[in-house]
Amino acid sequence: MDRLDNTVRPYAWGSPTAIPHLLGIEPTGEPQAEMWMGAHPGAPSRTDRGTLVDVIDADPRRELGEPAVARFGPRLPFLLKLLAAGAPLSLQVHPDLTQAKEGYEDEERRGVPVDAPHRNYKDTNHKPELICALTEFDGLCGFRPPAHAADLLDGLGVDSLKPYVDLLHAHPEEAALREVLTAILTADPAETAHTVTAAAAACDRLGGAYTPYAGIAHHYPGDPGVIAAMLLNHVRLQPGEALFLGAGIPHAYLNGLGVEIMANSDNVLRCGLTPKHVDVPELLRIVRFEPADPGVLRPEAAPDGEEVYDTPTDEFRLSRYVLAAGGPAHDLTRPTPQILLCTAGAVRAGEHTLTPGTSVFVPAGHKAEVSGAGTVFRATVVA
């Protein structure tokens, strides 16, 4: 087992206190948004044998196991994170595999540099993801029924929103959502900023169901994404609850600390709440305009005390063990690679003692046994 030394990314939306509090260290005063655990080339975890990228590249079959290499190639197919949102992240969607390959190949043919700010596709992979709350966690996920979104917008009493309200009452629902989102993102910026300002003031005044959007508007004054966000379901996760975000589902994380796992990709198309590039035509190609319940996940009991967050993707499998003092050790040995992350208490993993925020990489087939009193998340693949 390799103890991991992980990079914390200081994105502006990050909480300055949540990750330091979990780690038991003093905050620096700077935002600490994400701690990355894995072999992503942008910030690979470090081990005594070198970076996790180096370790895997030296012998992929030994580190990842034959089943994972045969299925996903000679790389770790997931990235595990601690995510601490102190402000809303951008409203965004991710492509499916076919869309990612088509988009990447198109931008390559057109000679768009991979590091260009207007580049949409950094790789050919999809990016399904799962967020599991460690604290109360607020987010937006998937479209509301259009009639519900119309009622929310109409309740603000802002005249310039009336055309959107009328459009949302049209049928079919998918076409109504597409037309409204297109109108929001292509409207005159000055007029939109005026509408957003009036809507934000109404949200502040009304409170209740409007409170999350008042907070969003505070962080992104005048951004059309504030209105787009009101088309989406607001979700408040309790600790231990999770959301799965599949391809084409618009979403944004607003506030809270969680464990996030995703396929190892950087493909993001933004809808708003960001100063970054918003490619409206490509976004509209990717978004699934389907009203749906966000589908809060709760862990399902499996043998040996494991609690599994069931998702339809194979690049990752996330579960947790809540261990009690004096309880039996649990054998976690698998023929696939694993990362174990402690989020509470003290957990013994092989020769390592894990405390909150610390983690280890377990090569495929390596003996992995955990015990102690605390919570440990287990990230692996389905292969």
Q: CA-CA distance, 81 to 8, in Å (whole number)?
A: 9
In 3D space, the residue among 318, 364, 327, 365 whose CA is nearest the CA of residue 345 turns out to be 327
Please, are residues 356 and 344 in contact by the beta-carbon 8 Å criterion?
A: yes
Please, are residues 335 and 364 in contact by the beta-carbon 8 Å criterion?
A: yes
Q: CA-CA distance, 165 to 374, in Å (whole number)?
A: 49
Q: CA-CA distance, 319 to 317, in Å (whole number)?
A: 7
Please, are residues 17 and 28 in contact by the beta-carbon 8 Å criterion?
A: no
Within the chain, residue ranges assigned H as helices are 18-23, 52-58, 60-64, 66-72, 97-109, 146-154, 162-168, 173-186, 189-206, 211-219, 225-229, 280-286
Find the distance separating the first CA and the last CA of the chain, reported in whole Å: 20
The 10 Å CB-count burial string (b at 16+, else e) for 34-44 is: bbbbbbbeebb
The residue from 3, 46, 144, 270 that is catalytic is: 270
Please, are residues 253 and 123 in contact by the beta-carbon 8 Å criterion?
A: no
Active site residue 3: no
Q: Given phi > 0 = left and psi -120 to 50 = alpha, else beta, which region is 168?
A: alpha
In 3D space, the residue among 315, 317, 316 whose CA is nearest the CA of residue 300 turns out to be 317
In 3D space, the residue among 76, 9, 11, 13 whose CA is nearest the CA of residue 40 turns out to be 76
Q: CA angle at residue 270 from 264 to 271, to 5 degrees?
A: 145
Q: CA-CA distance, 280 to 285, in Å (whole number)?
A: 9
Within 30-145, residue ranges assigned H as helices are 52-58, 60-64, 66-72, 97-109
DSSP summary character for residue 144: P
Active site residues: 270
